[in-house]
Amino acid sequence: KAVYIYFNNDAEAFAVRNAITIGDYLPATV
């Protein structure tokens, strides 16, 4: 099952950092 996550970026561009962090917690799919 596909999961989509949306990060709303702010003035300090935390969305990119948050996406990298959540990627560390989720298993990679092949």
Rounded to two decimals, the pTM is 0.54
Dig out the tokens for 28 from the structure: 């990679």
Q: Kindly compute the dihedral angle of the four CA atoms of residues 30, 26, 13, 9, in this order, to the nearest 10 degrees.
A: 90
pLDDT tens for 2-16 read 778 888 888 888 888
pLDDT of res. 25: 86
Distance between CA atoms of 1 and 20, rounded to whole angstroms? 21
DSSP count for the chain of H helices, then E strands: 1, 0
pLDDT tens for 18-29 read 888 988 888 776
